[in-house]
């Protein structure tokens, strides 16, 4: 938690649950990533947190943007981003959304199938396109499975086809999964892309960009490698496989830019036990799965908690949200422990919750308001 966030929580005591996010930390994270990967161009993955103060700060820093929908494209434009700095990175787009983005000046689009390529040829003629390939997601705490990307052999055929259709077959992308804790995931993916580059050049395709996607992790309960370790591994792999003929390098960080800039402030609604001798207490908060903590699904992302009683004796807990749905249980198997003194009415903080929280909040399930947001 940054000092600015701590001061705001202490002095203003905002109603809970809410996200409080320090936009200066967003800037710091952007600069740290630029320093770790100076040859890469940063396309902020807007979906991680599309709040205007964040987009505006990033526009000021010269960032580019990875948008997943026409609505996100539009949010970037409203924040002052030039259309040339926006990549429409979702491989699954409605054709009218492609048309709207193209009309607004967006000229870079992702695809991973022939049907999507045909849409782009019709509705974004001449645009730069890049094909997303399937890569391993081992090491990712929030993997992306097989939903996006295609096999390398298909990518080759589609890139050749893109040129025939009058599009510019600009690059190849991948995503190693979000909250990726292993630098080796990038190294393996880069090796795969490099072989595809060779094949494409032999086929006469003028491919010139590698998009390394997102995945750069933030610290939750466990330590993760430093961003400089990712930078060194990535540039080492790029040099090894591309030598002096380095292509343009694009990265699409989301979580790393905003995650540790924000804190969710929540209230303990109830602490109870299921039996008199049950050692495990249930701690119910006023935020849960439907209040924005979607990434606790499968206990994948394990947030760190702060309470007013930290340092005192602790015991095991199951942590749950406030709604009348049993899937609204956050952590049952991840060995969470919280202070024995914790009680109804205490305020607790969930650290590093600036990414993938506000936009996952449901609308009024059980009547609860979506998460309030404060940007400092």
Instruction: Point out the residues that are catalytic.
Output: 324
Closest contact distance (angstroms) between CB of 111 and ligand PLP is 12
Closest contact distance (angstroms) between CB of 8 and ligand PLP is 25
- Phi/psi at 334 (nearest 5 deg)? -100, 20
Q: Does 183 bind ligand PLP (CB under 6 A)?
A: no
Q: Does 50 bind ligand PLP (CB under 6 A)?
A: no
Q: Does 67 bind ligand PLP (CB under 6 A)?
A: no
Stretch that binds ligand PLP, among 241-249, 254-262, 285-293, 315-323 (CB under 6 A): 254-262
Shortest-Cβ-distance residue relative to ligand PLP = 214
Closest contact distance (angstroms) between CB of 317 and ligand PLP is 28
Tell me which of 17, 171, 254, 288 binds ligand PLP, using CB under 6 A. Answer: 254
CA distance 76 to 89: 13
CA distance 104 to 374: 30
Closest contact distance (angstroms) between CB of 174 and ligand PLP is 9
Tell me, residue by residue from 132 to 171, as one string, x for binding to ligand PLP by CB under 6 A and - for no binding: ----------------------------------------
Tell me, residue by residue from 317 to 356, as one string, x for binding to ligand PLP by CB under 6 A and - for no binding: ----------------------------------------
Contact 287, 330 (CB under 8 A): no
Tell me which of 70, 130, 197, 216 binds ligand PLP, using CB under 6 A. Answer: 216
CA distance 249 to 231: 12
Q: Does 213 bind ligand PLP (CB under 6 A)?
A: yes
Q: Does 253 bind ligand PLP (CB under 6 A)?
A: yes
CA distance 281 to 361: 26
Tell me which of 66, 72, 346, 373 binds ligand PLP, using CB under 6 A. Answer: 66
CA distance 44 to 58: 8
Structure tokens given for 371: 């998460």
Q: Does 255 bind ligand PLP (CB under 6 A)?
A: yes
Q: Strands 347-350, 329-331: parallel, antiparallel or unpaired by DSSP? A: unpaired
List for the chain the helix, strand, coil content (%; round to 5): 35, 25, 40
Contact 91, 104 (CB under 8 A): no
Q: Which long-range contacts (CB under 8 A, 24 or more apart) does 76-83 make?
A: 76/46, 77/104, 78/52, 79/52, 79/55, 80/56, 81/55, 83/107
Structure tokens given for 333: 């198997």
Tell me, residue by residue from 78 to 117, as one string, x for binding to ligand PLP by CB under 6 A and - for no binding: -----------x----------------------------
Q: Which residues bind ligand PLP (CB under 6 A)?
A: 45, 47-48, 66, 89, 175, 178, 213-216, 252-256
């Amino acid at each position: 938690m940054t000092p600015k966030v701590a001061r705001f929580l202490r002095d203003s005591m905002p109603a809970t649950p809410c996200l409080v996010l320090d936009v200066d930390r967003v800037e710091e994270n952007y600069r740290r990533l630029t320093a770790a990967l100076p040859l890469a161009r940063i396309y902020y993955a807007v979906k991680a947190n599309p709040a205007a103060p964040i987009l505006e700060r990033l526009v000021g820093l010269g960032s580019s943007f990875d948008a997943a929908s026409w609505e996100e494209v539009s949010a970037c434009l409203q924040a002052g981003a030039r259309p040339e700095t926006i990549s429409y990175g979702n491989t699954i787009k409605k054709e009218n959304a492609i048309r709207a983005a193209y009309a607004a000046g967006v000229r870079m689009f992702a695809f991973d199938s022939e049907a999507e390529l045909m849409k782009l040829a019709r509705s974004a003629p001449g645009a730069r396109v890049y094909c997303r390939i399937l890569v391993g997601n081992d090491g990712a705490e929030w993997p992306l499975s097989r939903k996006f990307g295609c096999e390398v052999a298909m990518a080759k055929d589609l890139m050749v086809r893109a040129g025939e259709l009058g599009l510019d077959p600009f690059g190849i992308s991948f995503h190693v999964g979000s909250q990726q804790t292993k630098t080796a995931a990038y190294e393996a993916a880069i090796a795969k892309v490099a072989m595809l580059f060779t094949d494409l050049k032999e086929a006469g395709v003028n491919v010139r960009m590698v998009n390394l996607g997102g995945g750069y992790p933030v610290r939750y309960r466990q330590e993760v490698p430093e961003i400089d370790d990712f930078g060194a591994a990535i540039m080492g792999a790029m040099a090894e496989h591309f030598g002096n003929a380095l292509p343009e390098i694009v990265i699409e960080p989301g979580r790393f830019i905003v995650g540790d800039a924000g804190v969710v402030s929540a209230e303990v609604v109830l602490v109870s036990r299921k039996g008199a001798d049950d050692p495990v207490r249930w701690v119910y908060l006023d935020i849960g799965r439907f209040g924005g903590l979607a990434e606790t699904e499968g206990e994948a992302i394990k947030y760190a908690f702060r309470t007013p009683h930290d340092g005192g004796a602790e015991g095991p807990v199951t942590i749950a949200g406030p709604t009348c749905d049993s899937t609204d249980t956050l952590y049952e198997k991840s060995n969470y422990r919280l202070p024995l003194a914790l009680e109804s009415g205490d305020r607790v903080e969930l650290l590093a919750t600036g990414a993938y929280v506000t936009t996952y909040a449901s609308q009024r399930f059980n009547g609860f308001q979506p998460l309030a947001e404060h940007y400092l």
